[in-house]
């Protein structure tokens, strides 16, 4: 099986439920509280591993209890953690408040994630060398992301960039991306095209391909997803489920894509598999607690 290297963030999500969001200066009594492993990098690595991938992770945690828990979860999911470094100081955390309408408010403190440097990529280069596919997001320093993509392409790897959280990216980053996986909002920000319909998506995708991206898979929420390259366009519908919490749905989708592509599945098979995985993730609460495995997908009645 081809190997997958995920480079990215590891956070502990601290989640509290409230009846309604607090107003400025207001103190509320919440109800349920949970500590849930998260971070876009960690989520995508866990998704890829649970869905059949052979995965290693490059990232950083702090030398605190959260760091220990994050590493423990990765190991429990059979992810190679040889390239996850422990940094002096706090791990990344996300403070999440969720109201009774499932609306949330999130504050992220990056902690050790923002201490991932170019030198760290060099120290962990064997993780990239040993892999066929490299998956990256945008919750670590941009200079490190740029360097990791450059090194991955120098080594002939297939690169997947999930451009979230959405920021403008330089052409020097974009040109080293084989597969870009934005949602509509992220594609708008990257391309500068206001997206209202499919023609706008095509226009935006063409701009990204002119900058060097080989393929795009644009996620359209409950509508489905759209694949584009210079010659083809394919639409795959979403699966209808009862949504409880959309946390990590996009990460699950991206992790599933990396696995299916590593198994040489067709574009249609890959997107259908990822759609099933993403749909199942919204039927449970939390980040990594919601990510399905192969058994879940095989036995769910879609």
**221 assigned to a ligand binding site:** yes
250 is in an annotated binding site: yes
DSSP 8-state assignment for residue 114:
G
126 is in an annotated binding site: no
* 294 sits in which H/E element: helix 294-299
156 annotated as a binding-site residue: no
Q: What are phi and psi of 6, to 5 degrees?
A: -105, 125
d(CA 40, CA 250): 9
Residue 80 DSSP class: B
Could you give the C-alpha distances from 115 to 26, 85, 136, 174, in angstroms and in order? 34, 10, 16, 23
Q: CB within 8 A of 235, min separation 6: which ones?
A: 224, 225, 226, 227
Instruction: Using alpha carbons, select from 278, 223, 225 the residue that is nearest to residue 250.
Output: 278
CA distances from 145 to 17, 64, 231, 293 (A): 34, 25, 28, 28
Residue 39 · residue 291 · CB < 8 Å: no
Q: What are 265's two structure tokens?
A: 């599945």
Is 222 annotated as ligand-binding? yes
- 39 annotated as belonging to a binding site for a ligand: yes
Q: Is residue 281 a known part of a binding site? A: yes
- Residue 225 is labelled as binding a ligand: no
Instruction: Count Cβ atoms within 10 A of the Cβ of residue 199 and give its class: 0-12 exposed, 13-18 middle, 19 or more buried.
Output: exposed
Residue 251 annotated to the active site? yes
* Residue 176, marked binder: no
191 in a labelled binding site = no
Is 69 annotated as a binding-site member? no
Q: Point out which residues pair with 54 in neighbouring strands.
A: 3
Asked whether residue 13 is marked as a ligand-binding residue, the answer is yes
**In Å, what is the CA distance from 188 to each residue of 184, 195, 205?**
6, 6, 10
Consult the annotation and say whether 183 binds a ligand. yes
Contact criterion met (CB below 8 Å) for 211 and 171: yes
Task: Determine if residue 40 is labeled as part of a ligand binding site.
Answer: yes
Q: From the candidates 77, 120, 178, 251, give the one annotated as an active-site residue.
A: 251
The answer on whether 284 is annotated among ligand-binding residues is yes
Residue 212 labelled as part of a binding site: no
Q: Which residues are annotated as a binding site for ATP?
A: 183, 219-224, 250-251
Binding-site residue ranges for K(+) = 245, 247, 281, 284, 286, 290
Positions marked catalytic:
251
Q: Binding site: which residues?
A: 11-13, 39-43, 139, 183, 219-224, 245, 247, 250-251, 281, 284, 286, 290
Q: Which residues are annotated as a binding site for substrate?
A: 11-13, 39-43, 139, 251
């Amino acid at each position: 099986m081809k190997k997958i290297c995920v480079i990215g963030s590891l956070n502990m999500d601290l989640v509290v439920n409230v009846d309604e969001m607090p107003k400025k200066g207001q103190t509320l009594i919440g109800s349920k509280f949970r500590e849930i492993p998260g971070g876009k990098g960690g989520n995508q690595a866990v998704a890829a591993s649970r869905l059949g991938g052979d995965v290693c992770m490059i990232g950083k945690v702090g030398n605190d209890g959260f760091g220990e828990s994050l590493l423990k979860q990765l190991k429990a999911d059979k992810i190679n953690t040889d390239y996850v470094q422990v940094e002096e100081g706090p791990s990344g955390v996300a403070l999440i408040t969720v109201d009774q309408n499932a609306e949330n408010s999130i504050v992220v403190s990056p902690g050790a994630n923002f201490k991932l440097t170019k030198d760290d990529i060099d120290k962990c280069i064997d993780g990239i060398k040993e892999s066929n596919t490299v998956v990256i997001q945008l919750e670590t320093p941009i200079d490190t992301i740029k360097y990791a993509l450059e090194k991955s392409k120098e080594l002939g790897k297939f690169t997947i960039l999930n451009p979230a959280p959405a920021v403008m990216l330089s052409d020097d980053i974009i040109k080293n991306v084989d597969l870009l996986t934005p949602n509509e909002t992220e594609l708008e920000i990257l391309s500068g095209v206001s997206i209202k319909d499919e023609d706008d998506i095509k226009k935006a995708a063409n701009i990204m391909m002119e900058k060097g991206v080989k393929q795009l898979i644009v996620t359209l929420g409950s509508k489905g997803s759209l694949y584009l390259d210079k010659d083809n366009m394919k639409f795959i519908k979403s699966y209808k489920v009862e949504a409880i919490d959309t946390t990590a749905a996009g990460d699950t989708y991206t992790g599933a894509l990396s696995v299916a592509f590593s198994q040489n599945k067709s574009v249609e098979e890959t997107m259908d598999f990822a759609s099933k995985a993403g749909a199942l993730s919204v039927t449970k609460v939390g980040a990594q607690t919601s990510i399905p495995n192969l058994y879940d997908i095989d036995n769910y009645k879609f």
